[in-house]
Amino acid sequence: MKKIFFSFFILFISFSCSSVRLNDNGCDKINSSNYFIEKVINKKQINNISENDRIELKQQLISQISSSVRKESKVFYAIEGNNANESFGEDVSIISYGYLNDPEVTYCKKSNDYIVILSINKQDFVDQTVNQLDNELDVNLRVISSALRNFDSFKESFNRQEAKKFNIKSQQLESMHSLVVNENNYSLVEINMLNDKLAQYSAMSAEFAKLSYVFDKQKNNINRKIRAGLLKEAYIDLNILLRTYGDKTNEGVEISSILDGLLFKIKQEWNNQDMIFNEHIRENRVNMAKTRLDNLFNLIVSEDYQSKYNNRKDIWTEKRKKIERQSLLLKSPKNQEFFFGLNATSSFGNISSTDEQIFLDPETSNFNFDKILPSYKFGYRFYFNPKKRLSVFFQYKVNSSKFIDLGSDESSDYQFPFSTDFNEIQVGFSAGAFDFSYGKLLDPMDVNNQQIDFNTASINLSLITTDGRPKGEKNYFNLYGGINLISDFDELSYLNILIGLNYHIRFNRKLAKSDRNYLSNL
């Protein structure tokens, strides 16, 4: 009955602890019928990835979809509700746009790595975008028509912001159009209708931009931004102007010339900031490196720069974790130690027993320190919690059969039970000031012409330690007292009292669980 219950309990735990099937042979969602993105995670993150990770995966997935549809990846970063898209700035000129309504999140195991996968069926993605495109065109045509009818030339700042929004929406619609408008999804009549609507919206967006931007004034504003080092903002504005006027017009040619010069300046600034960033990384100056990393972020104007930035960010993150780990380790207690020391033990008391009682035989016991039996020991200890002194240990002890006479009673009938030196090994655990250990003598002992194997047990109490507070930081002396028992657990048992002094050499600092969790979240 117990076996049946135990099996049922294990089965219940297996189903209730995880709803995810991990597969060593790969993940079902990684196949040619899906768009997917994968990421290596910690085992603890299974079924528990953060919202930021989900957003990042959505962004990467829409970028990957765009790259697989077009020869040139055109991306626009953002998350709006269930819609994921990707960009290189607040306002951009190259865009990919599509709908990711509730993409599926799954987990699996590949080789020795745990993987999270965000995926959507390719046809489902197309269907979702098809369902939205026509509605998006109609709604935005009405919005921009109303904006043109109610255009107020005195609202210059407002108009420029609206022009940027219409420009971005125009590119989003163009991207959606290129993804799904084909004979697989629409009839020829529907394709022509969508083409007309998109051309109409693009023309109205360009018209609104021309009304909002006075070319010379806007050009002067861009030049001021360049001189002020606001290169990314200047790049964004130039692309909007170029899209507004077209690259074949006189204005477009001038804008292209300014844009080429700006890209060269961005490249120079990137190389300069990147060089200083790498110097700070080599010198472990992570705070100053972060400042340079932020400067690099403000220079991202293309996918190539985005890729470079992601690489530098990974380098900075790893360096920061390494330095934080080193800093935390310096503040962490050491969790292992070697120790060695000397003991002075009393003469042995001979424990006798009857059916009714256990007692020290007064005739054969000399349970005092008039004869001191010296010994020395060395060992190793591993701490589970250095501050509370919770540990396990191993020790090797060498005992002498020769005693130091401090003035014993010559008339005493006491005789030492062993005629030779003896060695013992013990394993034990510590809790607070107490050590509990158990072991055996390595060799059989001759007692009354019989070879007997003895076991040993000890309880020690730490009296004085010199490690101070916080515990676990430095080497220390430990003065302790205790009781030893040597017994064959049959007829012969001996007891003595000891006092000893050990020196402990600590090593191997170890991070606490809270510190490890902190590092994993950096």
286 has a pLDDT exceeding 80: yes
Same domain, residue pair 231 and 312? yes
13 has a pLDDT exceeding 50: no
**Closest CA relative to residue 240, chosen from 77, 88, 93, 94:** 93
pLDDT digits (tens, 9 = 90+) for 225-244: 888 888 988 898 888 888 87
68 has a pLDDT exceeding 80: no
Same domain, residue pair 382 and 492? yes
73 has a pLDDT exceeding 50: no
Domain-located, residue 379: yes
Per-range mean pLDDT, top range of 25-29, 134-138, 188-192, 371-375? 188-192
For residue 64, CA distances in Å to 35, 277, 305, 453, 522 come to 8, 29, 17, 73, 26
> Lowest-confidence range among 76-85, 261-270, 346-355?
76-85
Helix (H/G/I), strand (E/B), else coil: 93: coil
Same domain, residue pair 446 and 355? yes
Q: Which domain does 370 fall in, by range?
A: 334-509
134 contacts 196 by C-beta, under 8 angstroms: no
pLDDT digits (tens, 9 = 90+) for 82-96: 343 433 333 333 334
Q: Which of 331, 346, 366 is where one domain is finished?
A: 331
For residue 459, CA distances in Å to 85, 318, 384, 426, 428 come to 68, 47, 20, 12, 10
At residue 371, φ and ψ (nearest 5 deg) are -125, 115
464 contacts 435 by C-beta, under 8 angstroms: no
Does the CA dihedral 299-302-306-309 come out positive or negative?
Answer: negative
Same domain, residue pair 246 and 381? no
Angle formed at CA 224 by CA 221 and CA 226, multiple of 5 degrees: 115
Domain-located, residue 413: yes
Strand order in the sheet with 113-121: 34-41, 113-121, 104-110
For residue 402, CA distances in Å to 135, 150, 232, 417 come to 101, 111, 87, 11
CATH number of the structural domain spanning residue 367: 2.40.160.20
Same domain, residue pair 312 and 388? no
162 CB-side CA count, 13 A: 25
Same domain, residue pair 312 and 344? no
Q: What is the pLDDT of residue 16?
A: 33
Domain-located, residue 465: yes
Q: How many residues does the chain have?
A: 522
Q: What is the pLDDT of residue 519?
A: 67
Same domain, residue pair 364 and 480? yes
Q: What is the mean pLDDT of residues 471-498?
A: 86
Crossing angle for the helix pair 156-180 and 51-69, to the nearest 10 degrees: 60
Q: What is the pLDDT of residue 360?
A: 56
High-pLDDT (> 70) share of the chain, %: 78
> Lowest-confidence range among 74-88, 161-175, 184-198, 425-439?
74-88
Domain-located, residue 521: no
Residues 6+ apart with CB under 8 A from 399: 345, 373, 375, 421, 422, 423, 424
β-pairing verdict for 493-509 and 476-487: antiparallel
Domain-located, residue 400: yes
Long-range contacts of 27-32 (CB under 8 A, 24+ apart): 27/106, 27/108, 27/110, 27/115, 27/117, 28/106, 28/108, 29/104, 29/106, 29/117, 29/119, 30/117, 30/119
pLDDT top residue among 414 and 18: 414
Question: Does residue 417 have a cis peptide bond before it, meaning omega lies within 30 degrees of 0?
Answer: no
- Number of independent structural domains in the chain: 2
Angle formed at CA 335 by CA 395 and CA 424, multiple of 5 degrees: 5
What is the pLDDT confidence band of residue 20, given thresholds at 50, 70 and 90?
very low
**Closest CA relative to residue 379, chosen from 364, 394, 390:** 394
High-pLDDT (> 90) share of the chain, %: 24
Q: What is the mean pLDDT of residues 176-185?
A: 84
Q: What is the pLDDT of residue 85?
A: 41
451 contacts 444 by C-beta, under 8 angstroms: yes
For the record, the structure tokens of 295 come out as 């400067």
502 contacts 339 by C-beta, under 8 angstroms: yes
pLDDT digits (tens, 9 = 90+) for 412-454: 555 667 778 889 999 999 999 999 999 999 988 887 778 888 9
Same domain, residue pair 239 and 319? yes
Q: What is the pLDDT of residue 349?
A: 65
Q: What is the mean pLDDT of residues 166-192?
A: 85
Same domain, residue pair 320 and 293? yes
Distance CA 462, CA 431 (A): 11
Q: Which of 300, 331, 362 is where one domain is finished?
A: 331
Q: What is the DSSP letter of 432?
A: T
**Closest CA relative to residue 256, chosen from 247, 244, 264:** 247
pLDDT digits (tens, 9 = 90+) for 304-322: 898 899 899 999 989 988 8
pLDDT digits (tens, 9 = 90+) for 372-417: 788 899 999 999 988 888 999 999 999 887 777 766 555 555 566 7
pLDDT top residue among 201 and 470: 201
Q: Which of 331, 358, 393 is where one domain is finished?
A: 331
Domain-located, residue 466: yes
Distance CA 453, CA 451 (A): 7
Same domain, residue pair 303 and 365? no
Domain-located, residue 35: no
Helix (H/G/I), strand (E/B), else coil: 109: strand
23 has a pLDDT exceeding 80: no
Distance CA 62, CA 381 (A): 54
Per-range mean pLDDT, top range of 71-80, 81-90, 330-339? 330-339
What is the pLDDT confidence band of residue 78, given thresholds at 50, 70 and 90?
very low
Same domain, residue pair 451 and 505? yes
Q: What is the mean pLDDT of residues 518-522?
A: 66
Domain-located, residue 166: no
Question: Terminus-to-terminus CA distance in the chain, angstroms?
Answer: 49
**Closest CA relative to residue 226, chosen from 188, 269, 196, 288:** 269
What is the pLDDT confidence band of residue 475, given thresholds at 50, 70 and 90?
very high
pLDDT top residue among 40 and 361: 40
Same domain, residue pair 423 and 503? yes
What is the pLDDT confidence band of residue 76, given thresholds at 50, 70 and 90?
very low
189 has a pLDDT exceeding 80: yes
